[in-house]
Structure 1
Amino acid sequence: MTDPLRVSVLASHRGSSLQAVLDATSAGELNAIVVAVISNNSRAQALQRARDAGVPACHISSQTHEDEDAAIRAMLNAASTELVLTLGYMKKLGPLSLAAYRGRVLNTHPSLLPKHGGQGMFGEHVHAAVLAAGETETGASIHLVEPEYDTGSVIAQRRVPVEGGDKPGTLADRVLAEEHLMLVETLGRVEAGEILLPGLQRS
């Protein structure tokens, strides 16, 4: 077996997707290890989830560092990161960090991209837009991160039907559950070499 895939996670709030990854790694379902968690929010539950799992976790923002992009890149480098995940991270990854890890940064998005993506489309805003558009199905996507929001190549999607009486919150819950399953499955396929990322070289 190859060495575990070294994954760093950026998250801004609850960190439920981070927890899905941590649970899968601890259960032996993934040949991966979360080596660092970074948040721009000092109160993010994601930081506590990481610490509870013994993973180095750090609040990095414009409040803590004059150049937060350089600080993020330094932490990713120090952790010997192979793959970066932005999971509910409410900021663009800075140009220094993106240049250093281009082609091996993945983001989850709660819609079937390219539908309902772009700046300002996050969380329940996405699900409200899906309902307003009269969509009969939605879902979740995993894509490579590029400088512009939600424009990178989509590498995985899961479809979720829109049900009668759905509200943004109920739709969000069902999409998130599928997103967690898709994330763990996709990481496994990346680690196994079944999904090839342009910036990731696994020996």
Structure 2
Amino acid sequence: MPAITVCCSGSGTNLQALINAGCHIRQVICNRECPAANRARAANIPTLITESIAVQDIDPQSELIVLAGYLKILSPQFVAAFEGRIINTHPALLPRFGGKGMYGMHVHEAVLASKEKESGCSVHLVTNQVDAGKILAQRKVPVLPDDTAKSLQQRVMSQEHQLLVEIVKNWDKYCPKEEREN
């Protein structure tokens, strides 16, 4: 299991799933004070609050950077420095409902408005294009006739937590070292 840096902007439920699963979290970086930072501190994980992440902010022992509800766009220099080692969770089945402005409840509202029969979550490699990196894995959930954005979010989030933990714990299976070095 790789040593990871987790980047968050909000409630930190994906972070909590990683903590509960015993993942090796070297540090948490948040772009603002938020519940995720409090979760990290409660777990005695070194926590940094910074508006924009710089390459030098990353613990040198971290092998993987996990964007878990991180709502800032990373600089091209940052992405290049850690190419193949940054993953993002997204609350939809990419490539649908991805891109700029598609996060949180906006995604679930868009799914419902389009009358989709299923939704889900994706974990993908980060590139300089928002939500456009290689999809490592997805999990699907049905969209129910009486769903609200909140009820759909809850079902997707449950799958997102499980999928993220699975990918982190099996990082070499999902993204073999030889692929990360190309």
**TM-score, normalising length from structure 1?**
0.84
How far 1:74 sits from its partner (Å)? 1.1
- C-alpha distance in structure 1 between counterparts of 2:88 and 2:123, whole Å: 6
Q: Say which SS state the counterpart of residue 194 (structure 1) adopts.
A: helix
Residue 39 (structure 1) aligns with:
30
Q: 1:24 aligns with which of 3, 21, 39?
A: 21
- Where does structure 1 lack aligned partners over 5 or more consecutive residues? 26-31, 62-67
Amino acid at match of 1:134: K
- C-alpha distance in structure 2 between counterparts of 1:69 and 1:195, whole Å: 25
| Correspondence 1:80-119 to 2 at 5 A | 80-119=61-100
Q: 1:74 aligns with which of 34, 50, 56?
A: 56
Q: How many residue pairs align between the two structures?
A: 180
Closer, same or farther in 2 for the Cα pair 1:165/1:123, shift >3 Å? same
For the 8 Å contact 1:106–1:142, the answer to whether it is kept is yes
How far 1:200 sits from its partner (Å)? 6.5
- C-alpha distance in structure 2 between counterparts of 1:136 and 1:88, whole Å: 25
Stretches (4+) displaced over 4 A = none
How far 1:167 sits from its partner (Å)? 0.7
- C-alpha distance in structure 2 between counterparts of 1:17 and 1:200, whole Å: 27
**TM-score, normalising length from structure 2?**
0.94
Residue 169 (structure 1) aligns with:
150
For the 8 Å contact 1:69–1:96, the answer to whether it is kept is no
Amino acid at match of 2:13: S
- C-alpha distance in structure 2 between counterparts of 1:59 and 1:187, whole Å: 23
Q: Say which SS state the counterpart of residue 152 (structure 2) adopts.
A: helix
How far 1:79 sits from its partner (Å)? 4.1
Matched, 1:121 2:118: no
